[in-house]
Amino acid sequence: MSLLGEEAGPSGRLHPFDLLRWYLDVGVDECIGELAIDRYSVPPPVPRPVAAAVPASPSSSSPRRAVVGREADGAGASGTATQIAAACTSLTELHRALEAFEGLPLKQAATSTVFADGSAQPRLMCIGEAPGHEEDRQGVPFIGASGKLLDRMLKSIGLDRSEVYITNVVPWRPPANRKPTQDEVAVCLPFVIRHIELVDPPLLLLLGGAAASALLARSEGINRLRGQWFEVGSPGLQRPVPTLATFHPAYLLRTPEAKREAWRDLLLLSKKL
């Protein structure tokens, strides 16, 4: 018998030996959690994209692979995000499909659908979180203060913005620049995956935790995900794309001491380029 949270014994604090005796008395031979969890009050988990992340052993030099799927979905009048995205055969069609998509209320509050900027045959594809005020106003991603820093980061490894393709996980600005919720990201994910398939970039750079956890299908924060190579694969890609996550430029503007680690990430990228 195993001890799950809701079976976790009498209330109140017990001496560990008393607790152990009580567990043995009730026939428990395996302890799974220390704290009682009221599973009836825990909200059901948000549907997450299907992912098969293959962990590499710490000594292995092979990257971890995430195969991103399209299970979490938003339904609009003309179908689910997955169906709509899968039907797009070009970037122009994908752009139009996002402009017409009605499955996410965020869009109503936004001025623009901020699709992408840069070269359609890029040396690198960068994916951020969601547009800010200036991006929403001009309809171009990474054009405000964090965009200026992104341009300088790319320059520091010899990349001009015109050689790079830049987009976001969520193409509509969340009100008051709040973080997009996991549900909002999940609704947009089929479009982002199709976006990657259509650009088919040689390398991916994920800017910040929202892009990293969505596209690597991992629950860890950006501190853990940055600085190591992953591979992002999907059924529509001929081969998995080597992918690196790093801090979001907006975070670096607020936390200049993190620039040292971001610089290390850029060096990793530079080597691969």
Q: Can you give the binding site for ligand URA, defined by CB under 6 A?
A: 128-132, 135, 141-142, 146-147, 168, 250
For residue 126, the minimal CB distance to ligand URA (Å) is 9
Q: Which one, 77 or 176, has the nearer CB to ligand URA?
A: 176
Token pair of 184 as six digits: 């909002």
Q: Which one, 8 or 127, has the nearer CB to ligand URA?
A: 127
Q: Which one, 135 or 184, has the nearer CB to ligand URA?
A: 135
For residue 144, the minimal CB distance to ligand URA (Å) is 6
Q: Which one, 131 or 190, has the nearer CB to ligand URA?
A: 131
Q: Which one, 8 or 140, has the nearer CB to ligand URA?
A: 140
For residue 145, the minimal CB distance to ligand URA (Å) is 8
Which of 145, 142, 143, 95 has its CA nearest to residue 120? 95
Q: Which one, 82 or 168, has the nearer CB to ligand URA?
A: 168
For residue 108, the minimal CB distance to ligand URA (Å) is 19
Q: How far apart are CA 6 and CA 41, in angstroms?
A: 12
The position carrying tokens 């428990």 is: 28
- Residue 123 CB partners (closer than 8 Å, separation 6+): 159, 163, 164, 201, 202, 203, 273
| Apex 221 CA angle, 216 and 225, nearest 5 | 50
For residue 196, the minimal CB distance to ligand URA (Å) is 16
For residue 2, the minimal CB distance to ligand URA (Å) is 43
Position of minimal CB gap to ligand URA: 128
Q: Would you say 246 and 225 are in contact if contact means Cβ atoms under 8 Å apart?
A: no
- Residue 269 CB partners (closer than 8 Å, separation 6+): 124, 157, 203, 205, 244
